[in-house]
């Protein structure tokens, strides 16, 4: 016959259910904190990607007569969009060109990236996920600073290649940032097309092309984006942190050097 002490050593069904309920409540309380910690880790990995791009860009400039890495070089443009002539290809060494320090796994035809690497943000949907609808990459350049030969971009302030020494304030010259998943571009001069995906994911179903809308309509976005500047440092920015509220292009190209870091009148015009 069991004593009262031995009977107390056994859990009753009610006691077991109470313990399970307590564990479930604690897990629910801890889950947001764990998710936030994971996202902070992903944001740090993303920032490290951009720092690697910054080092690669600086090495490219040293090897190419001090020119800032261009968004694209001729013959980039329809119908010849070889990644070899885009900034991603120029830095990652595709098709036998020099790799300036990037870790990128391209598909066999170089049409897109596969797997993790320098051009893959861990906070963004995978390239093959179906959610990433852009034909380009998780990151994009500021072609106001870098220059592009894209035939559809005719504004002179976006078609100038310039040297690092021509940039007056490298620490304010935005070089590369994160692309929103629907932007479908390798470069931009619009704050509206940045992917503000850290903290709270930027799940906009579309973003307006430069000039079609003012970026203030997106001021509700709570997330942040990592931004690489020409001097190599990376900052986390919310859309309201970019200069200025009245001008969605100011952080990229501006008549004011204090806003964009460089004189957009200087540089070699792309033919």
Per-residue pLDDT of the chain (271 residues; tens, 9 = 90+): 455 555 555 668 787 788 888 888 887 777 676 677 788 899 999 999 999 999 999 999 999 999 999 999 988 766 567 888 999 999 999 878 899 999 998 888 788 888 789 999 999 999 988 899 888 999 999 999 999 998 888 888 899 999 999 999 999 999 999 999 999 999 999 999 999 999 999 999 988 654 555 778 888 999 999 999 999 999 999 998 887 666 888 999 999 999 999 999 999 998 7
Q: Is residue 170 part of a domain?
A: yes
| Residue 102 neighbours by CB under 8 Å, 6+ apart | 52, 53, 56, 91, 92, 93, 117, 118, 119
Q: Is residue 193 part of a domain?
A: yes
Number of H-type helices and E-type strands within the chain: 5, 7
Determine the Cα–Cα distance for residues 213 and 234; give it in Å rounded to an integer.
27
- 222: nearest Cα among 245, 195, 200: 200
The percent of the chain in helix, strand and coil, each rounded to the nearest 5, is: 35, 15, 50
- 253: nearest Cα among 242, 263, 245: 263
Alpha helices in 73-202 (DSSP H): 87-92, 143-146
| Domain limits for position 17 | 12-269
| Residue 105 neighbours by CB under 8 Å, 6+ apart | 113, 114, 115, 116, 117
Task: Give the pLDDT of residue 96.
Answer: 81
| Residue 56 neighbours by CB under 8 Å, 6+ apart | 69, 91, 92, 100, 101, 102, 118
Which residues on neighbouring strands pair with residue 67, listed in sequence order?
Answer: 163
Q: Is residue 6 part of a domain?
A: no
Q: Is residue 3 part of a domain?
A: no
Which residues on neighbouring strands pair with residue 92, listed in sequence order?
Answer: 99
Domain count, the chain: 1
Q: Is residue 5 part of a domain?
A: no
Q: Coil, strand, or helix at residue 4?
A: helix
Task: Give the pLDDT of residue 33.
Answer: 67
| Residue 70 neighbours by CB under 8 Å, 6+ apart | 87, 90, 146, 147, 148, 149, 161
Determine the Cα–Cα distance for residues 239 and 221; give it in Å rounded to an integer.
7
Task: Give the pLDDT of residue 11.
Answer: 63
Alpha helices in 86-155 (DSSP H): 87-92, 143-146
Cβ-contact 167, 262 below 8 angstroms: yes
Q: Is residue 125 part of a domain?
A: yes
Q: Is residue 7 part of a domain?
A: no
Omega within 30 of 0 (cis) for the link into 66: no
Q: Coil, strand, or helix at residue 163?
A: strand
Q: Is residue 172 part of a domain?
A: yes
Determine the Cα–Cα distance for residues 137 and 132; give it in Å rounded to an integer.
9
Structure tokens at 221: 């976005």
């Amino acid at each position: 016959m069991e004593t009262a002490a031995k009977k107390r050593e056994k859990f009753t069904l009610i006691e077991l259910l109470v313990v399970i309920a307590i564990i479930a409540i604690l897990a629910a309380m801890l889950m947001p904190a764990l998710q936030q910690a994971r996202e902070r880790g992903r944001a740090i990995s993303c920032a490290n990607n951009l720092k690697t791009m910054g080092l690669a860009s600086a090495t490219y400039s040293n090897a190419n007569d001090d020119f800032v890495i261009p968004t694209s070089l001729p013959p980039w443009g329809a119908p010849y969009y070889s990644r070899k002539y885009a900034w991603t290809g120029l830095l990652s060494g595709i098709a036998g060109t020099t790799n300036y320090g990037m870790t990128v796994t391209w598909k066999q035809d170089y049409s897109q990236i596969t797997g993790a690497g320098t051009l893959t943000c861990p906070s963004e949907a995978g390239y093959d996920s179906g959610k990433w609808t852009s034909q380009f990459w998780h990151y994009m350049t500021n072609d106001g600073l870098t220059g592009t030969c894209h035939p559809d971009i005719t504004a002179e302030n976006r078609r100038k290649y310039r040297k690092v020494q021509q940039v007056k304030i490298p620490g304010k010259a935005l070089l590369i940032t994160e692309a929103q998943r629907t932007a479908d571009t390798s470069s931009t001069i619009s704050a509206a097309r940045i992917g503000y995906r850290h903290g709270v994911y930027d799940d906009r179903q579309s973003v307006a092309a430069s000039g079609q809308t003012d970026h203030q309509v997106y001021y509700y976005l709570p997330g942040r984006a990592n931004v690489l500047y020409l001097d190599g440092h990376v900052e986390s920015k919310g859309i309201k942190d970019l200069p200025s509220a009245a001008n969605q292009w100011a952080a990229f190209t501006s008549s004011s050097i204090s806003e964009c870091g460089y004189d957009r009148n200087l540089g070699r015009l792309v033919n």
